[in-house]
Amino acid sequence: MQPVNEAEQRRHLAGAFRWAARLGFNEGVANHFSALVPGSDSQFLLNPPGVHFSRITASGLLKLDASDTGGGRPAGVDPTAWYLHSHLHQLVPHAKVILHTHMPYATSLACLQDFELMMLDQSSCRFFRRVAYDRTFSGMFLNDSEGPRLAEMLHDGISTMFLGSHGVMVVGNTVAEAFDELYYLERVAQLHVYAMSTGRPLMLIPDDVAELTCKQWLAYPEGADLHLQAVMGILDEEEPAYRS
């Protein structure tokens, strides 16, 4: 579901915010989603500071230019968002959409020493060899060097990053693609926590089967698009103000 113009991109991103709030993916009024404006390689949309995910509207999203770095961080923009999202949009070709959260189950795993996602089930396999791990937490993203550092880890094929002692981030070519990835990441993380909490031996899927299943996930017809369409359909009925 490739948006054809800025208005459509705004609606898709606002819908993702609203549904993320329903799922409990947000943390207070922190965390940020951003998306490039269709047809631009530097202008992007970002949530404004202090607005709860459940109150985001399409028209309320900020429009920024990642290439506008001459004067430093723009006024009225959260600094941690600017230092991360502006660089990633510029430096990572497949980071047209960036979703960063502290959602509980995935963040719990990000706090485990030397943790790596295991191939426990079918949904885990969609992340096979598509995850990076940043294990160098040094405080909040208030340094202009953080974006370029993380960009180096998001090479081709990597869609997901565990930020040690911090949270997670996913990138994608469309809002639908990135949101679907974020949704399944938290479900997979929840399964990991539940399975590990039993104390029983874990039955891991062999690499060759995990690789095949990952390819099947990525080739599955319109899965992410249908997911976002379904979400926006519910929002259209229950809280259409997100489109305004």
Model confidence, pTM: 0.96
Arithmetic mean of pLDDT, 57-75: 84
Sheet holding 160-163, edge to edge: 62-65, 43-46, 32-36, 97-101, 167-172, 160-163, 131-134
What phi and psi, each to the nearest 5 degrees, are found at residue 89?
A: -60, -30
SS3 71: coil
pLDDT band, residue 137 (cuts 50/70/90) = confident
Is residue 156's pLDDT more than 90?
no
- Angle at the Cα of 224 (from 167 to 175), degrees rounded to 5? 60
The mean per-residue pLDDT over the stretch 51-60 comes to 98
d(CA 216, CA 128): 12
Of the listed ranges 68-72, 162-166, 174-178, the one predicted with least confidence: 68-72
pLDDT, the chain, mean: 94
pLDDT computed for residue 71 by the predictor: 54
